[in-house]
């Protein structure tokens, strides 16, 4: 035997280890690299989205302010005059009031020709900006947003423009707010990234208007086509800037799917650049982060390379150790081979004189020496026994003749037992059929392990058929995979101890495949407690083992995800700590699980003191008079139980208590945290509104005082108009009478507005009285409908009423509930076209009355539905139909329902199809409240 053939198995084994070690290294390298790079890209996308949302919130705030400027009556009045005075002091004062925080470098008004009439920056006056997109688009579409360099100041500005119209929708001019760029840039300057990374804002054409790399300003990220570049030059968007491109790819390559964060990989010669970008809300503005690709993969490659190197070195080291051990271990095999060859040639005196350091090999050598001695002894004994056995055979032949006669007698007895055996055979056939069709591998052996029976599952599991199996020793065909100690223990258990053996082992199919199995071997004993048979049952558990391996992989992935989640948690906790509003997060039971720094400061408590405790106890809420608010009335409890967002109610303020025991008012919003359609917690965001409350109270008191003072002159005007119309001061011609009627109508509108303002101020100051008495709400509805009957008849409308028969009288303030019903029915009549339909329904449930007023009128635009209950708000489509409303009615209705009865009000509406308003009143009715004034 040469060296290679002797150790052929060893070399094949080592080569296999090295091969799979290298294969595992390649797989680990590609898998880890791919996943880590993908994860880092997703993280960057999230970061870009968050920062774009921060910029969006700044721009949304300016849009809100722009709406207020648009609705400023002083601006509309000024533009409607024929003789407009430049830099009108009254209008200028109004514009200055919108720039208290000095966020705008200019707020200015232009006529329809683009001429600047009034501006907070006097250098804008008399300049014409009709060539600017922000002017032309606002004039055409009603609104415009743009970012350009100012031709007057040569400074960058964010321009928000809106069209000003009169009551008849005639265009009067355009008002523009020029936001200072540093307001937006402040949100971006704090971004810290690796060297060579770029943070950028781009306009709608791809021109860079902000970058942490100043040399990129007023260049383009990609190459613009000549038409676009020429348009920018003609419109003087960036004056004389050259607009060179940073990279040489076409700028149009970036304009895809801007509703999401996009990832663009650009190869520049030998360098790869990763560009992340997204549109900021609906604005023509784009936020982008650019980073060299090698920064993202540098750390990842280090981790991957180290992992692969460790795997390869481990495989190599294992191969060397196994090689050394196997060579030493198999050395006695050659000695055994030579000795066995001598014995096979008749040399029975051959003995091995060798000592091995491995006990197994030493036992094998001793066994060989014992075998050699036994073979010699047996050979000698066989020679002697052959002669002895020949004599015995002759003697037995005589004995067998005598036994033949006895056997004939026995056969007669057997015939008698035949019928009994046939019956038993049928039962056994049933049992055999059941065992044969069992899913588990079942065999029966004699006491020495020779197979007597094997069911069909043996063939299905092992691949051996019945003929191949029967007559062989159990396990010879499919066993032998486990070590000798295992089988030794098995036979000891079932044969010597005569106990059941149960456990798991590895067997081998006919095709050589090794499979795991769960076995149970039972010794079947005779009445003398001797083993008669062995019953073996085996179950193939290959699938179960694979499932267990998959489970281990899943558990490993979960551990890795836990680590990643811990990192993300640390980031979000840092984010929460920087927010000025107080934030408290609870679980579904209301136990506090997170408190940010601002909440700690306001409440005067450490986060550790409050965690895992109920929010109702650690952060109690009080009324203005210091009365503790019940848990059932807390917004946190309602958010957790209903799954709906809860906010501060108008006229109803919560108070929290600080560490010094002082109460302070809070404005709050509670959002349920929903996962898989189940509420698993809540997020409470609150802030101290002491300052805002003081300002709001002063404003409300002023409105109350002003409205009260206006009532006297308005009443005087009304009185004199009535006297003139009654011709107490002389006869009137038709033209004079028409003028006076217009004055009377206008005066009535002013009285209604003053009364509404007084009601709002009394609601917000909480000074109005509530005086409930037993009232049938159906009677109030009937009374209001009868009062409006002339308008209903005039418009040929149909009113349908559906009242629950079980409705009883409730404790209601008749004046307040009439105001609610009158407002809803009046709106339905007013804002439904001729021949329309109105349906009134009142139904009763276990806890409350549910009232609805439905019409098929003009409806409310979806984008304006969130503002419908705010003060002075009227939907755009309604303004076109009717210009007389105050925008206060629904605000007053909501305040009455929520403050006087703890009820709720909401609506459903589709534009041009109709609206349904709902409100609820608890069956306990309204609660009596003392006050110095009643609503009018």
Ranking 310-324, 585-599, 648-662, 773-787 by mean pLDDT, the lowest is 310-324
- Chain-centroid distance of CA 597 in Å reads 25
Q: 812 pLDDT exceeds 90?
A: yes
Q: Is residue 419 very low, low, confident or very high in pLDDT (cuts 50, 70, 90)?
A: low
Q: In Å, what is the CA distance from 349 to each residue of 260, 371, 375, 382? A: 90, 11, 10, 17
Looking at the structure, tell me whether residues 246 and 154 fall in a common domain. Answer: yes
Across 18-22, 425-429, 500-504, 932-936, the highest mean pLDDT is recorded for 500-504
Ranking 521-535, 648-662, 890-904 by mean pLDDT, the lowest is 648-662
Looking at the structure, tell me whether residues 709 and 779 fall in a common domain. Answer: no
Mean pLDDT of 877-886: 74
Q: 128 pLDDT exceeds 90?
A: yes
- Taking the C-alpha atoms of residue 522 and residue 537, their distance in angstroms, rounded to an integer, is 9
| 393 is a domain residue | no
| 395 is a domain residue | no
pLDDT of residue 42: 76
pLDDT of residue 304: 59
Looking at the structure, tell me whether residues 825 and 795 fall in a common domain. Answer: yes
- Chain-centroid distance of CA 722 in Å reads 66
pLDDT of residue 158: 95
pLDDT of residue 766: 64
Domain termination site, one of 518, 540, 562: 540
Domain termination site, one of 637, 659, 688: 688
Q: For residue 585, what are its two tokens? A: 């997060």
294, 274 Cβ separation under 8 angstroms: no
What's the first-to-final CA gap in the chain, in angstroms? 118
Q: From its phi and psi, is residue 147 left (phi > 0), alpha (psi between -120 and 50) or beta?
A: beta
Give per-residue pLDDT as tens, 65-116.
898 888 888 898 899 998 888 999 989 998 988 888 788 999 999 999 999 9
Looking at the structure, tell me whether residues 496 and 604 fall in a common domain. Answer: no
Q: What are phi and psi of 591, to 5 degrees?
A: -80, 135
Within 10 Å of residue 849's Cβ, how many Cβ atoms?
Answer: 22
Q: Give SS3 for 888.
A: coil
Ranking 585-594, 750-759, 836-845 by mean pLDDT, the lowest is 750-759
592, 607 Cβ separation under 8 angstroms: no
Q: What is the dihedral of CA 470, 475, 477, 480, to 10 degrees?
A: -170
Q: Give SS3 for 874.
A: coil
Domain termination site, one of 727, 743, 765: 765
pLDDT of residue 728: 73
Looking at the structure, tell me whether residues 761 and 779 fall in a common domain. Answer: no
Looking at the structure, tell me whether residues 211 and 75 fall in a common domain. Answer: yes
Looking at the structure, tell me whether residues 445 and 511 fall in a common domain. Answer: yes
Looking at the structure, tell me whether residues 666 and 701 fall in a common domain. Answer: no
Q: From its phi and psi, is residue 643 left (phi > 0), alpha (psi between -120 and 50) or beta?
A: left
Ranking 129-138, 347-356, 694-703 by mean pLDDT, the lowest is 694-703
- DSSP conformation class of 652: B
More confident residue, 571 or 597: 597
- What is the largest distance, in Å, between two alpha-carbon atoms of the chain? 170
| 420 is a domain residue | no
Within 10 Å of residue 911's Cβ, how many Cβ atoms?
Answer: 16
pLDDT of residue 233: 80
Partnered with residue 292 across adjacent β-strands are 273
CA angle 469, 471, 475 (to 5 degrees): 55
Ranking 265-269, 300-304, 470-474 by mean pLDDT, the lowest is 300-304
Q: Give SS3 for 198.
A: strand
Bridge-based pairing of strands 798-803 and 837-844 is: parallel
Q: 752 pLDDT exceeds 70?
A: no
Q: Which residues contact 491 (CB under 8 A, 6 or more apart)?
A: none
Give per-residue pLDDT as tens, 890-914.
888 898 888 888 899 999 999 999 9
pTM exceeds cut of 0.75:
no
CA angle 681, 685, 690 (to 5 degrees): 150
More confident residue, 262 or 421: 262
Looking at the structure, tell me whether residues 181 and 220 fall in a common domain. Answer: yes
Mean pLDDT of 33-39: 65
* For helices 89-97 and 73-80, angle between their N-to-C axes, nearest 10 degrees: 150
Helix%, strand%, coil% for the chain, nearest 5: 50, 25, 30
Q: 708 pLDDT exceeds 60?
A: no
Q: Is residue 120 very low, low, confident or very high in pLDDT (cuts 50, 70, 90)?
A: very high
Mean pLDDT of 746-757: 66
Q: 390 pLDDT exceeds 70?
A: no
Q: Is residue 524 very low, low, confident or very high in pLDDT (cuts 50, 70, 90)?
A: confident
Number of domains in the chain: 5
Q: Is residue 361 very low, low, confident or very high in pLDDT (cuts 50, 70, 90)?
A: low
Q: Give SS3 for 728.
A: coil
Instruction: Determine the length of the chain.
Output: 936
| 414 is a domain residue | no
Mean pLDDT of 512-532: 87
User: 483: domain CATH number?
Assistant: 3.30.450.20
Compute the mean pLDDT over every residue in the chain, rounded to the nearest whole number. 81
User: 872: domain CATH number?
Assistant: 3.30.565.10
| 20 is a domain residue | no
- Taking the C-alpha atoms of residue 161 and residue 146, their distance in angstroms, rounded to an integer, is 9
| 233 is a domain residue | yes
Looking at the structure, tell me whether residues 89 and 105 fall in a common domain. Answer: yes
Q: 730 pLDDT exceeds 60?
A: yes
Ranking 20-29, 294-303, 458-467, 529-538 by mean pLDDT, the lowest is 294-303
Partnered with residue 907 across adjacent β-strands are 917
Across 175-179, 299-303, 446-450, 545-549, the highest mean pLDDT is recorded for 175-179
- Taking the C-alpha atoms of residue 597 and residue 583, their distance in angstroms, rounded to an integer, is 8
Ranking 717-731, 838-852, 888-902 by mean pLDDT, the lowest is 717-731
Ranking 236-240, 279-283, 377-381, 886-890 by mean pLDDT, the lowest is 377-381
Looking at the structure, tell me whether residues 877 and 807 fall in a common domain. Answer: yes
- DSSP conformation class of 190: T
| 2 is a domain residue | no
C-alpha Rg value of the chain to the nearest Å? 48
pLDDT of residue 776: 94
Q: Is residue 30 very low, low, confident or very high in pLDDT (cuts 50, 70, 90)?
A: low
| 18 is a domain residue | no
Q: Is residue 709 very low, low, confident or very high in pLDDT (cuts 50, 70, 90)?
A: low
Mean pLDDT of 924-932: 81
Percent of the chain with pLDDT over 90: 23
User: 753: domain CATH number?
Assistant: 1.10.287
Residue whose token pair is 């010597």 = 496
Across 398-402, 545-549, 751-755, the highest mean pLDDT is recorded for 545-549
Q: Which domain holds residue 835?
A: 773-922
- Counting beta carbons within 10 angstroms of the beta carbon of residue 298, is it exposed (0 to 12), middle (13 to 18) or buried (19 or more)? exposed
- Taking the C-alpha atoms of residue 612 and residue 590, their distance in angstroms, rounded to an integer, is 9
Q: Is residue 146 very low, low, confident or very high in pLDDT (cuts 50, 70, 90)?
A: very high
- Taking the C-alpha atoms of residue 433 and residue 739, their distance in angstroms, rounded to an integer, is 111
Q: In Å, what is the CA distance from 394 to each residue of 381, 391, 400, 712? A: 21, 6, 10, 152
pLDDT of residue 415: 63
Looking at the structure, tell me whether residues 758 and 780 fall in a common domain. Answer: no
More confident residue, 891 or 702: 891
Q: 781 pLDDT exceeds 60?
A: yes
Residue whose token pair is 């109709």 = 914
Q: Is residue 385 very low, low, confident or very high in pLDDT (cuts 50, 70, 90)?
A: confident
């Amino acid at each position: 035997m040469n060296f290679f053939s002797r150790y052929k198995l060893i070399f094949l084994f080592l080569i296999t280890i090295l091969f799979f070690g290298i294969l595992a290294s390649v797989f680990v390298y590609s898998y880890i690299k791919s996943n880590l790079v993908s994860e880092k890209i997703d993280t960057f996308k999230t970061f870009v989205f968050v920062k774009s949302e921060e910029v969006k919130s700044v721009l949304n705030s300016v849009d809100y302010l722009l709406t207020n400027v648009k609705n400023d009556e002083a601006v509309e009045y000024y533009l409607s005059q024929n003789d407009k005075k430049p830099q009108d002091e009254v209008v200028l004062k109004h514009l200055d009031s919108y720039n208290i925080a000095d966020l705008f470098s200019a707020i200015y008004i232009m006529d329809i020709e683009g001429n600047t009439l009034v501006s907070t920056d006097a250098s804008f006056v008399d300049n014409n900006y009709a060539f600017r997109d922000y002017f032309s688009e606002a004039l055409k579409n009603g609104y415009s947003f743009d970012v350009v360099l100012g031709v007057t100041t040569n400074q960058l500005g964010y321009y928000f423009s809106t069209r000003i119209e009169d009551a008849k929708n005639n265009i009067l001019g355009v008002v523009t707010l020029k936001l200072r760029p540093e307001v937006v840039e402040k949100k971006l300057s704090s971004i810290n990234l690796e060297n060579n990374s770029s943070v950028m804002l781009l306009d709608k054409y791809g021109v860079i208007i902000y970058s942490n790399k100043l040399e990129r300003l007023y260049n383009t990220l990609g190459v613009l086509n000549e038409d676009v570049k020429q348009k920018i030059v003609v419109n003087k968007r960036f004056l004389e800037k050259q607009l060179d491109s940073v990279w040489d790819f076409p700028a149009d390559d970036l304009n895809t799917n801007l509703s999401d964060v996009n990832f663009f990989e650009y190869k520049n010669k030998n360098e790869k650049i990763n560009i992340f970008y997204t549109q900021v809300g609906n604005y023509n503005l784009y936020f982008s982060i650019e980073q060299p690709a090698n920064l993202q993969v540098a750390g990842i490659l280090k981790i991957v390379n180290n992992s692969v190197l460790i795997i390869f070195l481990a495989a190599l080291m294992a191969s060397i150790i196994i090689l050394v051990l196997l060579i030493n271990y198999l050395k006695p095999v050659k000695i055994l081979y030579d000795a066995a060859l001598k014995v096979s040639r008749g040399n029975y005196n051959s003995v091995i004189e060798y000592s091995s350091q491995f006990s197994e090999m030493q036992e094998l050598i001793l066994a060989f020496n014992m075998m050699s001695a036994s073979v010699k002894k047996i050979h000698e004994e066989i020679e002697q026994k052959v002669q002895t056995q020949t004599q015995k055979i002759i003697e037995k032949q005589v004995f067998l003749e005598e036994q033949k006669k006895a056997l004939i007698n026995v056969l007669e007895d057997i015939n008698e037992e035949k019928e009994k055996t046939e019956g038993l055979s049928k039962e056994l056939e049933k049992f055999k059929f059941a065992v044969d069709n069992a899913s588990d591998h079942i065999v029966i052996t004699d006491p020495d392990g020779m197979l007597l029976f094997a069911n069909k599952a043996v063939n299905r599991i092992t691949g051996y058929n019945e003929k191949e199996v029967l007559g062989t020793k159990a396990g010879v065909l499919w066993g032998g995979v486990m070590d000798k100690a295992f089988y030794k223990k098995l036979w000891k258990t079932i044969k010597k101890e005569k106990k059941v053996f149960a456990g798991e082992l590895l067997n081998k199919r006919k095709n050589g495949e090794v499979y795991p199995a769960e076995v149970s071997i039972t010794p079947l004993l005779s009445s003398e407690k001797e083993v008669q048979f062995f019953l073996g049952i085996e179950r193939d558990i290959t699938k179960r083992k694979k499932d267990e391996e998959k489970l281990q992989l899943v558990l490993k992935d979960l551990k890795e995800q836990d680590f990643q989640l811990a990192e993300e948690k640390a980031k979000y906790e840092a984010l929460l700590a920087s927010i000025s509003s107080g934030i408290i997060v609870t679980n579904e039971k209301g136990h506090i699980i997170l408190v940010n720094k601002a909440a700690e400061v306001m409440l005067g408590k450490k986060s550790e003191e409050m965690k895992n405790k109920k929010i109702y106890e650690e952060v109690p809420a009080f009324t203005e008079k210091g009365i503790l608010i019940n848990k059932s009335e807390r917004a946190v409890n309602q958010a957790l139980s209903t799954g709906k967002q809860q906010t501060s109610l108008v006229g109803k303020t919560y108070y929290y208590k600080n560490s010094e025991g002082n109460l302070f008012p809070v404005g709050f919003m509670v959002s349920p945290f929903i996962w898989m359609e189940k509420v698993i917690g809540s997020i409470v965001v609150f802030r101290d509104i002491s300052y805002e409350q003081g300002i709001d109270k002063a404003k409300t008191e002023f409105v109350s005082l002003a409205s009260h003072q206006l009532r006297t002159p308005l009443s005087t005007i009304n009185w004199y108009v009535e006297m003139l119309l009654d011709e107490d001061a002389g006869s009137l011609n038709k033209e004079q009478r028409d003028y006076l009627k217009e004055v009377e109508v206008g005066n009535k509108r002013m009285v209604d507005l003053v009364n509404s303002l007084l009601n709002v101020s009394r609601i917000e100051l909480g000074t109005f009285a509530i005086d409930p008495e037993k009232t049938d709400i159906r009677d109030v509805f009937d009374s209001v409908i009868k009062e409006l009957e002339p308008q209903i008849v005039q418009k040929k409308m149909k009113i349908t009423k559906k009242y629950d028969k079980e409705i009883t009288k409730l404790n209601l303030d008749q004046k307040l509930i009439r105001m609610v019903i009158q407002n809803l029915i009046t709106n339905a009549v007013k804002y439904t076209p001729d021949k329309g339909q109105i349906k009134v329904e009142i139904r009763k449930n276990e806890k409350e009355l549910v009232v609805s007023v439905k019409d098929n009128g003009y409806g409310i635009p979806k984008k304006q539905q969130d503002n419908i209950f705010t003060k002075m708000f009227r939907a755009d489509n309604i303004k076109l139909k009717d210009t007389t409303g105050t925008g206060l009615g629904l605000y007053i209705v909501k305040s009455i329902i929520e403050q006087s009865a703890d009820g709720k009000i909401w609506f459903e509406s589709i534009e041009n199809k109709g609206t349904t308003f709902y409100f609820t009143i608890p069956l306990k009715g309204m609660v009596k409240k003392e006050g110095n004034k009643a609503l009018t």
